[in-house]
Amino acid sequence: MKTMELVFLLIFFPVTLSVKHSLKLLVTTSSGVKNFPDYVVVGLVDEVPTGYCDSIINTVEGKQDWSQKMFEDDPQHLEWYTQRCLLHQYEYKDQIDILKQQLNQTEATCNPLWDLTLLSDSLSGVHIFQKMNGCEWDDETGEVNGFVQYGYDGEDFIAFDLKTLTWIAPKQQAVITKHKWDKDRAQNERWNYYLTQQCPELVKRYLDLGKSSLLRTELPSVSLLQKTPSSPVSCHATGLYPHRAMMFWRKDGEELHEDVEHGEILPNHDGSFQMSVDLNLSSVTPEDWRRYECVFHLSGVKDDIVTKLDKAVIRTNCEFPAGPVIGGVVGLLLLAVCITGVFIWRRRDNGFRPANSSDSSSSDPSSVKDAALN
Ligand SMILES: *[C@@H]1O[C@H](CO)[C@@H](O)[C@H](O)[C@H]1NC(C)=O
Ligand SMILES: *[C@@H]1O[C@H](CO)[C@@H](O)[C@H](O)[C@H]1NC(C)=O
């Protein structure tokens, strides 16, 4: 083999083609929303909603064919989840009350998650307390990462540090809670056991049971969209699966970083995902357009989808495709947040920093608004 070929292979086919699989439980408690369950748990396997439970139905439902069948075949497993769903409710509802007192919030003051003018009236007084726990398992190296983190009203509140088995408080308001929870060694040991032992076993079991759907690949349809002639051109892919995908703009074959804005991967109703990457063309002359192309790459699939920048194929505002789950209907927004809240929350979750470090993690309501109203 020629040296160049070898170099090429090493660059484009990294030695380990490992994939990280995950199990996450997203718990949302809210207070003060009429006709809405104040406790909702969604279980996600590889970001796909797989199980569901809330304080109205009080039982656990499989959300995929394979998880429904799993619960039918293994009632004990269903019972295990159902017990947790029931018992944990009361614990969380107490926690939200304690937090409200701790944060001196008897009335809603500043609630970034709901900083949407449409909602501000109907939802004043609403508080959202979310917990996300779970693990990632690397199918090649066997490495496991576990996490437990809490968010309050859409912002990071407290997170578990598996190395020290203590809690990290990114904000001054959470320091009291940190000290309290640090003392509960038995509980922290239980977290350690769940995150490093039980959770990865569950991931492997679910992957095996659901492999025909969880391990499938689906290429998206890719289109170029532009709201007005002066706005950036958005390269939009929808219907992709799994969520491990990359999309970028290229000029003369080279990846662009300037004037490019990457959107997040968002869930669709049907279990597939969508993503987009915007390119600001305001300083590009029409003759140069043909030098640009959008590249979509799906993990595990060799061929990329390459879309040349061409005025003739750009779709304009009026034919924008339907938004992600979270788009649109105001009445369903809370439900959407419960199911996809993790996506909103994640915007601020690149690393928990202890309180007193500069507070650059403060919320950015406009980005939430963008996600919600996309
Ligand atoms: C809440 O109010 C009490 C009494 O007014 C005060 O001592 C405490 O520091 C306040 N807590 C926060 C987080 O502002
Ligand atoms: C696009 O870039 C131009 C300058 O290069 C800038 O003035 C404009 O605000 C940018 N548009 C967006 C939507 O970022």
pLDDT at 335: 53
Q: Are strands 314-316 and 221-226 parallel, antiparallel or unpaired?
A: parallel
* pLDDT (tens digit per residue) in 91-148: 877 877 777 777 665 444 333 333 333 333 344 566 778 889 999 999 989 999 999 9
Return the ligand number nearest the Cα of 234.
Answer: 2
Domains and CATH numbers, the chain: 2-213+334-356 (3.30.500.10), 216-325 (2.60.40.10)
How far apart are alpha carbons 82 and 85 in whole angstroms? 5
Residue 342: CB atoms within 10 Å: 21
Pick the ligand that lies closest to the CA of residue 173. 1
Strands (E), the chain: 20-31, 39-45, 48-54, 61-62, 127-138, 144-152, 155-161, 166-168, 221-226, 233-240, 245-251, 254-255, 260-262, 266-267, 273-279, 292-298, 305-308, 314-316
Predicted confidence at residue 248, as pLDDT, reads 97
Triad 267, 273, 279: Cα angle to 5°? 105
Q: What is the pLDDT of residue 228?
A: 86
In tens, the pLDDT along 182-230 reads 999 999 999 999 999 999 999 999 999 999 999 999 999 999 999 888 8
CB-based contact 23:147 (threshold 8 Å): no
Asked whether 355 and 169 are in contact (CB, 8 A), the reply is yes
- Quick one: average pLDDT of 7-27? 69
> Atom 1, ligand 1: which residue's CA is nearest?
104
From the alpha carbon of 232, which atom of ligand 2 is closest?
13
Q: What's the pLDDT score for residue 108?
A: 41
Nearest CA residue ID for atom 5, ligand 1: 104
Q: What is the pLDDT of residue 373?
A: 29
Å from CA of 259 to ligand 2 middle = 8
C-alpha 335/C-alpha 337 separation (Å) is 5
Reply yes or no on whether the pLDDT at 281 is more than 80: yes
- In tens, the pLDDT along 32-79 reads 677 778 889 999 999 999 999 999 998 999 999 999 999 999 999 999
Alpha-carbon distance of 68 to 131, in angstroms, equals: 24
Pocket test for ligand 2, best of 282, 284, 370 (most atoms within 8 A of CB): 282
* Centroid of ligand 1 to alpha carbon of 362 (angstroms): 20
Mean pLDDT of 293-300: 94
Q: By alpha-carbon position, which residue is closest to atom 6 of ligand 1?
A: 104
pLDDT above 80 (res 6): no
Q: What is the pLDDT of residue 366?
A: 32
Q: Is the CB of 228 under 6 A from ligand 2?
A: no
User: Whose CA is closest to atom 11 on ligand 2?
Assistant: 280
Type of residue found at 330: V
23-32, 92-101, 277-286, 354-363 — which one is most confidently predicted on average?
277-286
For the residues 151-169, what does the mean pLDDT come to? 91
**How much is the mean pLDDT over the chain?**
79
Q: Is 282 in the pocket of ligand 2 (CB under 6 A)?
A: yes
280 Cα to the center of ligand 2, angstroms: 6
Atom of ligand 1 nearest to the CA of 172: 13
Residues with CB under 6 A from ligand 1: 103-104, 173
Residue 64 sits at the vertex; the CA angle it makes with 63 and 65, to the nearest 5 degrees, is 130
283 Cβ below 6 A of ligand 2? yes
Task: Taking residues 288-292, report their average pLDDT.
Answer: 95
pLDDT surpassing 60 at residue 286: yes
% of the chain with per-residue pLDDT over 90:
51
229 CB-side CA count, 13 A = 3
**How far is Cα 288 from Cα 44, in angstroms, rounded to an integer?**
44
Task: Indicate whether 170 pLDDT > 80.
Answer: yes
Question: pLDDT tens digits for 324-339?
Answer: 433 333 334 555 555 4
Q: What span, in angstroms and rounded, lies between the C-alpha atoms of 72 and 67?
A: 9
Q: How far apart are CA 53 and CA 25, in angstroms?
A: 11
